[in-house]
Structure 1
Amino acid sequence: MQSDLRGRDLIGDLDFSKEEVETILDVAWDLKRKRALGESHAYLRDKTLAMLFFFSSTRTRGSFESGMAQLGGHAAFIESRTTQISHGDTETEMGEIFGRYFDGIAIRHVDWGIGNRYLNLVASASRVPVLNMQCEIYHPHQCLADIMTIIEKKGRNLKRKKMVVSWAYASSYLKPISVPQSLILQMPRFGLDVVLAHPPEFKLMPEIMEQAQEAARVAGAGFEVTDDMEAAFKDADVVYAKSWGPLLTTQDPDEGKVIQDKYKSWITDQRKMDLAKEDAIYMHPLPADRDVEVTSEVMDGPNSVVFDQAENRMHAQKAVMALTMR
């Protein structure tokens, strides 16, 4: 166990070593047990967390705010449009000032080419930990909840287990690429054989792909890429299928929508799930476009773990906050 994560930022998935991630998971399971038994675990009594949102949220706000309260502290919800950021507060001001008001700063900013840089600039000026609630490159706390859920369902020995990370069609908007990028970085470190499936226009960042391949090599795990959704699903133990935008092809939303609409057949339905193993689990970070991105039959079916996954957001994030904000 890596026992001292005090003061550490969590912005990218590789900011913490595999051993440090395992420490977070162990603490998360302990906090989950305490929550189930009604045992007090106010490790952050009188501590405060600033939650700065540039992008709307359901699970992220709810899980951080509730988790901070359970740890004995307080989380302040701050919508960027209610601040003076648009009138001159720079990243340096936000880091310096919030770093003096609060004991931690959590930020969600997914604008392409802006969000990750913003988080890192705030972190460089802050005296307290900066936690990434999602940027355009990474979604590390979602990924911690995901590996926590996979281990709960499939056991700690994930060697030779096949995980599909697949694009899926959605009609609502061009979603960030941060979830699949975090998944392909983190999951190979735990021995999972990852198959990334997407249409040609929906590639991920080249540097992320290189890091994922290296993580798989070090762990002795597989990492493959295909443009065939059904082939990817075959004999999978874990199916993680969600939409993301063709952001490396175009940042124009209208052009991106035209590209996206070419692939309406990329829906996770029961026929495709039947290609996976009988006990395969279906995962999605939510919200999902029901009966467009995934059928209700799958999302509400016996293989779906999406609500366990959503719950684990809170437990994993509590572990990160307890370890970094002490």
Structure 2
Amino acid sequence: MRRPLLATGLAALCMAVGVPAHAWAGTSGAATSGVTTAPVVVNMEATVLAAQIDPRRADHTLTPGAKDSVLAVEQALEDLNLLDPQWVDGYFGTTTIAAYAAYQSSLGYSGLAANGLPGVTSLTKLGHNRFTVSNTIGPGAKVQRSGYVVDARTQAMLTAAERLLGYPLTLEQGSYNPGGDPTSAGTHDGGGVVDISVAGMTAAKRTAVARALRQVGFAAWVRDPSQGDWPWHIHAAAISDTDLSSQAQHQTGDYYLGLNGLANRGADDGPKVPIRTWEQYQRGH
């Protein structure tokens, strides 16, 4: 007997407020209770940063501010049967990198476009009917600097560092140079990585250049001949450049973990500054 009385009461209430009973009855429980589901938004900046740092961690510590975004990406990869449910944990480790690279390959991408770092196009496609993407970032077009190829994002970062220093910087190696320098261990194969000439610089000036580069969003170190088969130079990798080679991704991740970016994974020997990306630097100025 309760059901007819409830139905009658509902009909009367609908008539009183001017809402058709069928419209009320057709709403979901969440809607009738006044609860709405917030749209899922993936912060691309945070996700790309996690994809560089997390694979280099010795534990499963999550990258601050990235968990929800990474979870949404991992859930989408699971939906496509590219990631086992056990790895849907908000940690963008090596397994998630491999799954994302497989997804990029499934879209027909190869090379740098399938490096496991989310790009705007692939991330947007992955999010279709699942999530939207905010804080998008990208390397931009390839341009010339000091006779070498770099991407537009790296070019802007170098220009910003020069403004801080008050003098120009000269490259002795650029980006997108696969196999061009065996001593670089593949870090220059993709975008975002440059070597800067230190000819005529004092030790203090070399340190000042590395500091300025770090301030605008590079993982940068002064390199000397005792560390490898190379002359004195400054090596700089643009954090969160989505064209980074796998080796350069490892360097930027190590930089966040207080390491020197070399194969020995020693302690960072560069000037100490607050670590930030290019986008964070721009927002702070």
TM-score (norm 1): 0.29
Q: Please, what TM-score do these two structures have when normalized by structure 2?
A: 0.32
**Higher RCO (CA-CA < 8 Å; seq separation 6+):** 1
- Compare CA radii of gyration and give the structure with the larger one: 2
